[in-house]
């Protein structure tokens, strides 16, 4: 299941606009399935500046530790404390309550460079 209303990265993050200048970020259903049971999530602090393509946190599962990458450049304006205290939420609801952060992005055109649902579906084949 790849929701049509989201944008995606090659690294399996999804991006959902929450306003004209903010986006919510999480990992895809495919990514959480590849990771297995998520046991730990480390997120950045509110106010932290992030750059597109750089790590903004970590997600640890019973199989591995993976980086969470920023799909856009900007400032972290909100983190999801739920996934810090209940990391299994990433597995249970990757497109819902299992999101990670909200970022106030520096350039709205940056979203244009992300994958749409069709391109992401093709990528995960």
Q: 3 in helix, strand or coil? A: coil
Would you state the pLDDT for residue 34? Answer: 95
Report which of 31, 38, 43 is spatially closest to residue 78, judged by C-alpha positions.
Answer: 43
Whether residue 125 is contained in a domain is answered as no
Q: CB within 8 A of 33, min separation 6: which ones?
A: none
- The H or E element containing residue 56 is strand 55-61
Number of domains in the chain: 1
Q: CB within 8 A of 112, min separation 6: which ones?
A: none
Q: What is the mean pLDDT of the chain?
A: 96
Question: What is the distance between the alpha carbons of residues 37 and 6, in angstroms, rounded to a whole number?
Answer: 24
Whether residue 1 is contained in a domain is answered as no
Does position 97 have pLDDT exceeding 90, yes or no?
Answer: yes
**CATH code for the domain of 46:** 2.40.50.100
Does position 99 have pLDDT exceeding 90, yes or no?
Answer: yes
Report how far Cα 14 is from the mean position of its chain's Cα atoms: 5
Whether residue 45 is contained in a domain is answered as yes
Would you state the pLDDT for residue 58? Answer: 97
Question: Which tens digits make up the pLDDT trace of 42-96?
Answer: 999 999 999 999 999 999 999 999 999 999 999 999 999 999 999 999 999 999 9
Structural domain span for residue 17? 7-119
Of residues 69 and 107, more confidence is placed in 69
The residue assigned the tokens 């959902």 is 16
Mean pLDDT of 12-35: 96
Whether residue 124 is contained in a domain is answered as no
């Amino acid at each position: 299941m790849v929701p049509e209303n989201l944008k995606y990265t090659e690294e399996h993050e999804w991006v959902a606009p929450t306003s004209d200048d903010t986006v919510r970020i999480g990992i895809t259903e495919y990514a959480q399935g590849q990771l297995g049971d998520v046991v730990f999530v480390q997120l950045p602090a509110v106010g932290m500046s992030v750059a597109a393509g750089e790590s903004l946190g970590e997600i640890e599962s019973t199989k591995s530790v993976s980086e969470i990458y920023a799909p856009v450049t900007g400032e972290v304006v909100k983190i999801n404390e739920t996934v810090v205290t209940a990391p299994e939420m990433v597995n249970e609801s990757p497109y819902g309550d299992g999101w990670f952060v909200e970022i106030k992005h520096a350039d709205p055109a940056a979203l244009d460079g992300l994958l749409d649902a069709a391109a992401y579906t093709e990528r995960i084949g």
